[in-house]
Amino acid sequence: MHNTNHNPSEHAHNPINKALRVKIPGFHNLALEHAVFDYNGTLAIDGILITGVEPLLNGLAKHLQVHVLTGDTFGKARQELAGIDCHVSILPAENQGAAKASYLKQLHPSEIIAIGNGRNDRDMLNEAKVGVVVLGEEGAATESMMAADLVVPNIFSILKMLHDTRKLSATLRS
């Protein structure tokens, strides 16, 4: 895990040349370099990483740079993400939606898949090449659902789609 305090520019250019390429007829030909996740409600419940997410995120980190953006409501994010190859940014409590969108802009939104569930994720989901809302236990904000390209029932669904991109293509093609 790499801890950052909201400075994504050092991760903007992919030094290891990780990329996930997906052709989606009628949608986009994706050349993703970054996966940006919200933490609470998306990867965690009550500040605790959802069981089974760690190995899937580490597998994804072999193909994409993984970023986790959080207000860290429960103060556990860094500890819970310690075993994951990711960049963690703890955001200030105010204006998190704008901070998340700004983070994406510094990484090049055309190279990003963003995953979240809360109202403060809507601008991030809209800014990314692909925005994904996770329903999960906490549900999802309607505004974020409207900004997303894809809605999934839980975090495992999108992590599996990123492992087998044919599923992602089948869902988003026209």
Quick one: average pLDDT of 128-138? 96
> Residue 58 above 60 pLDDT?
yes
3-state secondary structure of 45: strand
Q: Tell me whether residue 34 is in a domain.
A: yes
**Number of domains into which the chain is organized:** 1
Q: Tell me whether residue 172 is in a domain.
A: no
Burial 96-113 (b: 16+ CB within 10 A, else e): bbebbbbbbeebebebbb
The amino acid occupying position 110 is S
Q: Tell me whether residue 104 is in a domain.
A: yes
Q: Tell me whether residue 142 is in a domain.
A: yes
Mode of pairing for the β-strands spanning 44-45 and 65-70: unpaired
The CATH number covering residue 82 comes to 3.40.50.1000
* 28 pLDDT tier (thresholds 50, 70, 90): confident
Q: Tell me whether residue 51 is in a domain.
A: yes
The residue among 12 and 48 whose pLDDT is bigger is 48
Q: Is the pTM of this model over 0.85?
A: yes
Q: Tell me whether residue 56 is in a domain.
A: yes
> Residue 8 above 70 pLDDT?
no
> Cβ contacts of residue 11 below 8 Å, gap of 6+?
4, 34, 65, 67, 87, 107
Half-sphere exposure of 154 (CA within 13 A, CB side): 9
Token representation of residue 145:
């659902």
Q: Tell me whether residue 151 is in a domain.
A: yes
Residue 14 sits in which domain range?
2-167
Q: Tell me whether residue 49 is in a domain.
A: yes
Cα distance between residue 46 and residue 146, in whole Å: 25
Cα distance between residue 159 and residue 57, in whole Å: 7
